[in-house]
Amino acid sequence: MLIELLTKKYPGMRLWLTQRISAVAMVIYLLLLLLVLAIKQPHDYASWLDFMSPWWWRLLTLVFFVSLLTHAWLGVRDVFKDYVFNLRLRAVLQVTVDILLIGYLCWVSIILWKI
């Protein structure tokens, strides 16, 4: 049943499911973050650096931001489709958002991995 919903017969289902999965991933990360912050309680720069230094935590944080940007891309795309009726303006706005989101992902990657 689920596989049938993800076929070309229902084109919006993949995007809908992607947005829901990204939301679940963000909630799980935020709950884990709150739990770890309650346990470690970093209070200065050195403790924050120690908190963010494990590779697995940086990877989880990167997954969070990829989920956030995917969620935002799908949401903004739907808003543009619903409220911007001029196709050229919609395309320009969507390309602008796409470039900004890719830039944000690069920025987060640089910060997390100290490139």
Task: Give the pLDDT score at 12.
Answer: 84
Domain ranges for the chain:
14-113
How far, in Å, CA of 79 to CA of 85, rounded?
A: 11
The pLDDT of residue 114 is 84
- Annotated binding residue at 71? yes
pLDDT in tens, the chain (115 residues): 666 666 777 778 889 999 999 999 999 999 999 999 999 999 999 999 999 999 999 999 999 999 999 999 999 999 999 999 999 999 999 999 999 999 999 999 999 998 5
Residue 83 marked as a ligand binder:
yes
Which one-letter DSSP state was computed for residue 6? T
What is the third-level CATH fold of 14-113?
3 helical TM bundles of succinate and fumarate reductases (1.20.1300)
Of 68, 67, 112, 77, the closest CA to residue 98 belongs to 77
Q: Quick one: pLDDT at residue 115?
A: 57
CA distance 49 to 34: 17
Element holding 111 (H helix, E strand)? helix 87-113
Q: So what's the pLDDT on residue 5?
A: 66
